[in-house]
Amino acid sequence: MLYVNRASLTLTLIHATTQLEATQTMSTTTTSTTQPPYQSLDPATGEVQETFETATDEQVAAALAAADTAYRAWSDRPISERAEIVSRVAALFGERAKELAELARQEMGKIEGEGVEEAEFCQAIFDFYATRGPELAADQEIPTFTGGTAVVERRPIGTILGIMPWNFPFYQVARFAAPNLVLGNTVILKHAESVPRCALAIVDIMRDAGVPEGVYTNLFATFDQVETMINDPRVQGVSLTGSERAGSVVAGIAGRALKKCVLELGGSDPFIVLDGDVKQLADTAWGFRTYNMGQACNSNKRMMVMEDLYDDFVTELVAKAQSVADPAPLSSRKAAEIVAAQVQDAVDKGATLHAGGVLSEGPDAHYTPAVLTGVTPDMRAYTEELFGPVAVVYKVSNEDEAVELANSSAYGLGGAVFGTDVPRAAAVAQRLESGMVNVNVPAGEGADIPFGGVKRSGFGRELGTLGMEEFVNKRIFVVADS
């Protein structure tokens, strides 16, 4: 479905101040940046619904102490008991899917059906780890050891800090929290400032499912408090989904503190079309590109189409863009303005805007889905992540040209190749520099499919069997023969 370099140690998180931060949150500057409020604001109208106070330093200290204390008891419980509680978390995500979808619509503009899908995906993720977690965390004997027994144990390590974005306010949390809770780690969650009600809805689910106090804690933390938590010795790791600039800040702080981090950052995924039914290919490309109004890290932000199909492919996309009568809003007015500025920069420098690309007068966050061609390296749209409903199409003459263009990006999250000759398409896909590669499908997705990238898209993996391998002590336990 889804589709530090600093003068001081002050950590700065900013809410989508450039498009590279549109996936959420953290950046660094040498000057002070105002803390964005934790505020529920409807992007369809621009109206503020509710504002929440940030945590006090005393509340942060209490949360750290509670998480550390809870870890001792939580990690000592049999994994079967932890899995049973996580299974109840899964059930509640399913039962409350419509309620959660409405919250996502109110806070970041998500279409109701897509919000329900997101909640149901969370159910699948928690179910996967509740069911498979005990097996994935089981001891692994080293068969070649002599003189006794030797096993690799997978043990929890403590409290993990999660810094999560607004674009999938439930799913991003699920894929981080589910494996850690089953493993026996405790979780502190700093969610995006723009989805506080979504964050609190997750807290309600955890409590109602029987997750003990201190095992899962939501904090409306400030910039400085996030840095304090990363540096605190009771926090053993940090996971961030956000921009590349955010990732560089977090990785720098975590590195100085000798903490493990997992980073899922931006993406500018290629979508290579070799041959096939143009209408069907355009349907697939457009549906994936505009899912969540184009606000997905792994959406197909760059489409490379062979020259014999190119004109018809663009024509099909234009027809689809022109048929959108009532688009959903982007997540915020700032997000819509950033996308509009990137497209306008391209047009000013010679690119062609075939359809869409109209920014509303405000204060709402509507931007009509667009089709853009003729993008060149001197344009922002060529190198920056376009985090909105803009289909950028490139004409290529052969496979080598397509692969060279695909790999020219600093990002390396995912990518897809489409062609009627499957071995040929697979051979092209093998040449892509990315963490996830797909043939004749935009993205392989599921609770059992690991997610993550390379290059400036980050490192580490979430979901699937690999999601249990990040924040775990792979302890070697040897018992000698008597």
Span 361-374, pLDDT tens digits: 989 999 999 999 99
* 261 and 345 together in one domain: no
Find the domain containing 395 and state its range: 270-446
Residue 157 covered by a domain:
yes
How far apart are alpha carbons 451 and 79 in whole angstroms? 24
- The pLDDT > 90 percentage for the chain reads 91
* 77 and 195 together in one domain: yes
How far apart are alpha carbons 472 and 453 in whole angstroms? 20
How far apart are alpha carbons 271 and 71 in whole angstroms? 44
The number of distinct structural domains making up the chain is: 2
pTM: 0.93
How far apart are alpha carbons 318 and 322 in whole angstroms? 6
Instruction: Choose the final residue of a domain: 231, 265, 299.
Output: 265
Residue (of 23, 51, 49) closest to 37 by Cα position: 51
pLDDT, averaged across the chain: 93
The residues, ordered by sequence, that sit 6+ positions from 254 with a Cβ below 8 Å of its Cβ are 230, 237, 238, 260, 261
Residue 23 covered by a domain:
no
The residues, ordered by sequence, that sit 6+ positions from 105 with a Cβ below 8 Å of its Cβ are 111, 112, 115
Per DSSP, the three-state class of 53 is coil
Average pLDDT rounded to a whole number, residues 236-265: 95
Residue (of 398, 397, 343) closest to 373 by Cα position: 343
Residue 231 covered by a domain:
yes
Q: What are phi and psi of 287, to 5 degrees?
A: -60, -40
CATH of the domain at 384: 3.40.309.10
* 213 and 103 together in one domain: yes
Residue pair 313/281 in contact by the 8 Å Cβ criterion:
yes
How far apart are alpha carbons 34 and 209 in whole angstroms? 37
* 205 and 239 together in one domain: yes
* 330 and 259 together in one domain: no
Active site residues per annotation:
264, 297
Strands (E), 259-412: 260-264, 270-273, 302-306, 352-355, 370-373, 390-396, 411-412
Residue 7 has pLDDT above 60, yes or no: no
Q: Per-residue pLDDT tens for 372-400?
A: 999 999 999 999 999 999 999 999 999 99
